[in-house]
Amino acid sequence: MDAERYARLRDLFFAADELSEPERQSYLEAQTGDDPQLMDEVLSLLNEHDAESAKVEGESAMPTPAPGGLKQPTGQEHSVAPAPRDSEKRSVTSAASDTKRSGQSKVSASEITQRGAERTHASPKTFESRGSQDRTSPSALLLASKSRRARRINSGWLWLAAVLPTLLVGCWTYFSVSNNAESALQNELTGVTNSIDLATSRFLDDKAQMVQSWARQSTIRDSILALVEIGNKKSSLDEPKTSPLPARILSELQILSGKPTVEFVVWNESFTTIASWRADQADLGQPVSPRGTADVARALRGETVIYGPERGEGPADWDDNADASTTDTEEPTMACILPIRNGDSEIVAALLVKQIGLFKVFNEMLQEASATSGLDIYAINRSGEMISVSPHAAKLFHLSRFDMSPDTIVDHLRVSDPGSLITRGNRDAIVRRALPLTEAASSATLGESTVRLDPYANYAGESVIGSWRWNPRWRYAVIVEKNVKDAFAAARIVWYRFLLLGSLLTVTALVTASRLARRSARDQAAVHPLSRYEIISELGSGGMGVVYKAKHLQLGRETALKLLRSDRHNREDQLRFDREARLAASLTNPHSVTIYDYGRSEEGEAYCVMEYLRGLTLHEVVVRSGFQPMGRVLFLLRQVCEALGEAHSLDLVHRDVKPQNIMLSLDPSVGDWAVVFDYGLAKPLSPDKGTYQTSEVIWAGTPMYMAPERFRSPSVMDPRSDIYSVGCVAYYLLAGRPPFAECDPESLFALIISEQPIGIGIHRGDEVPETIRALVGKCMAKNAEDRYASITELAAAIDALRVEFPWTSHDAVNWWSQHGDS
């Protein structure tokens, strides 16, 4: 089926659907003429269409009808624009009836398509007012009687009125202090963690570079290469043992390091020891111990490795019969292992250098930072074992509250949560192997770096908060922790003092309650916050509120006054109404509607005072003059991008971009001026605690302008969904019709998700440049990844095209003079 026949079929369906059964047959016979197949297709669609089911489905997704005579939503809330003229409200029914009576002229395809497109879940048919006898007057709606409040006042309320403000101030002060304390703690912990990680990492980098420079010394490098060559000849074991090369390496290292205690070991590619610092060379020919195999293998792959600090058997301690009792108290081994390359840059050996003060300086850096900051600072390895001496653990040991001495902490203390277990003596280290790591250690060993202000248990079972950072270069983590009692001491003091103050005021309130109860309601009445506004007329009603045209009595400024509808006072709707005002008020771009005021009256009436926009919506612009010039479309889209660009920069997604939510007016200086409004469905990408949240079990928005992913996952927030809607608006302006229009919701959804819209040029009747079609097509890509990555990128693409398709203020003045209101 080609585009022309499809449009014809759709137009006839929309028109016939408005007629009664007897009228349909004669109407279709007159319209289809000698094309009975077309008539059969229309009748088949009508037979499958269940109007009542569609109505029930639509009503289930729409807000509850307004009470009395308030109008139903019409796809746009005329909250910021005058209502359409009567001549523009002609329905599809009247269009079809006129055609039937005339027998000559047929219904305009664009008119029927537009009217049919409005009959979806987002835009039910318009119902006229039932009459003024059912309508609540604006004044009565805005200014509730103070007598209701006066009847509720009693001594109990007055008692609460005396105590509650203090409690509220106390809570506010407490939470303010808590929030400030949390912010300060987060900054403190993050700063200390980062600085310690940076300092220790730089220290190890410097030491590694220093050892690398030693290994490049000709004496050391040539000696190691000679030892490798001797090993490759497979000579007797006596030759390496009697070789003077190990002593020459040791002597050179002692000179370079300035430490006579420096030690070294050299392994070849077979992980066999070919030289060491030992005078008797008793370890020659021995393999690397299992504990150090992984680190030596990394060095043979070309990495520079910091080994340890560890106790007992390491890569240099091959003797399994060493006395274990002497390894628990000696200083842990912390060494540098690096590759040795031959003249062809091939790795032929690995060199370990230790006893150059690595562990001592590394440990002192952490301990000095802990002493300076008053925090518990220590480092752990990938296994969750402590590789520096925690000053806090040492303090607990001396207070007999910890079973592991400071001399045995490194490489013995696994940072696990002891829970309620009480262990003694050397069993503590053994039992800890079976316990889960603390939250800090568990997260850090997974390579994570974060701050946690929610209390958790540390290695001593104490409640702490902390920060940690994993160092991927040297494979260790720095953990900084602070006791919860010390961290939030100031907030607790404030809370206890306000409780005491509240108790004193309670006694005072009980004494004075009876006197306050005798006051007249008129003495206590406050001026209604909306008494500053004069209601001029009702502009319309939408899913959430009723909108009035009002004027500020003192300033004389016309405004649009939006009130939460009387039947939408449940908590969910109130939070949604609050969110719209709060989010819209955060926008300052001139192409977004301006919020002047917002609040609630004492009776709980929620209101929002916003800019009163004069002009036409983009939907009305197309209704009046059909498809728009390409230059004008690009000019308007660029302004819409400015409004959405600011919203997206604030992590705010509009979610309901459509022609009915974009107001166009004539500005004398720039010509066309577009303003985006109705942020009722807007949501933040990363909601914070200060943003009201509302549940969402179905999709929200106007279906024909919604991105495909919104149907599949209504709760997913993605700025590229707004880009898709902008593309639909561009299509509508260029083609004079929406990209997809079906009266059956399921058919509409299927088209949006799987089908491409009819070519714009087919609707316009002329060819559309490839650059324009590519712009719209990329915006409306089914896959969000195929669209413009951001609204800024889309704006740049539009700017590149505006040079080719200009639109001037003179062009805008000409259009408004022909199609605008007088």
- H helices of 561-690, where? 571-585, 618-625, 630-649
Distance of CA 21 to the CA centre of its chain: 53
> Which tokens in the block code for residue 525?
């009445």
In the 8-state DSSP scheme, what is residue 67? S
Distance of CA 597 to the CA centre of its chain: 28
Distance between CA 611 and CA 354 in Å, rounded?
A: 74
Contact (Cβ atoms closer than 8 angstroms) between residue 249 and residue 279: no
Instruction: State in Å, rounded, how far the first CA of the chain is from the last one.
Output: 44
- Is residue 368 classed exposed, middle or buried when 0-12, 13-18 and 19+ CB atoms within 10 A define those classes? middle
CB atoms within 10 A of CB 531: 12
692 backbone dihedrals φ, ψ, rounded to 5°:
-60, 135
Instruction: Tell me which H or E stretch contains 534.
Output: strand 533-541
Q: Write the Ramachandran bin of 115: left for phi over 0, alpha for psi from -120 to 50, otherwise beta.
A: alpha
Quick one: which of 265, 263, 287 has its CA closest to 275? 265
Distance between CA 85 and CA 446 in Å, rounded?
A: 66
> Which tokens in the block code for residue 275?
């030289």
Quick one: which of 490, 486, 489, 447 has its CA closest to 468? 447
Q: Is 485 annotated as a binding residue?
A: no
Quick one: which of 232, 352, 350 has its CA closest to 302? 350
Task: Map tokens 């209701």 to a residue.
Answer: 148
The helix/strand/coil state of 496 is helix
Instruction: Tell me which H or E stretch contains 213.
Output: helix 155-215
Distance between CA 540 and CA 7 in Å, rounded?
A: 32
- Is residue 445 classed exposed, middle or buried when 0-12, 13-18 and 19+ CB atoms within 10 A define those classes? buried
Task: Map tokens 């080994």 to a residue.
Answer: 307
- Lay out the sheet containing 671-676: strands in order across: 616-617, 662-667, 671-676
Q: For the range 706-709, what are the long-range contacts, defined as Cβ-Cβ under 8 Å and sequence gap of 24 or more?
A: 706/752, 707/784, 708/752, 708/753, 708/782, 709/784
533 backbone dihedrals φ, ψ, rounded to 5°:
-115, 140
Instruction: Tell me which H or E stretch contains 597.
Output: strand 595-600
Distance between CA 330 and CA 207 in Å, rounded?
A: 22
Distance between CA 521 and CA 500 in Å, rounded?
A: 32
Q: CA dist 722 to 707, 708, 726, Å?
A: 8, 11, 6
Instruction: Tell me which H or E stretch contains 229.
Output: helix 218-232
Task: Map tokens 């289930």 to a residue.
Answer: 60
Quick one: which of 683, 776, 761 has its CA closest to 726? 776
Q: CA dist 319 to 196, 282, 293, 434, 753, Å?
A: 36, 10, 15, 28, 70
The helix/strand/coil state of 120 is strand
The helix/strand/coil state of 379 is strand
Task: Map tokens 């949240």 to a residue.
Answer: 693
438 backbone dihedrals φ, ψ, rounded to 5°:
-65, 165
Residues with Cβ within 8 Å of 320's Cβ and at least 6 positions away in sequence, in order, are: 289, 313
Instruction: State the binding site.
Output: 562
Instruction: State the binding site for ATP.
Output: 562
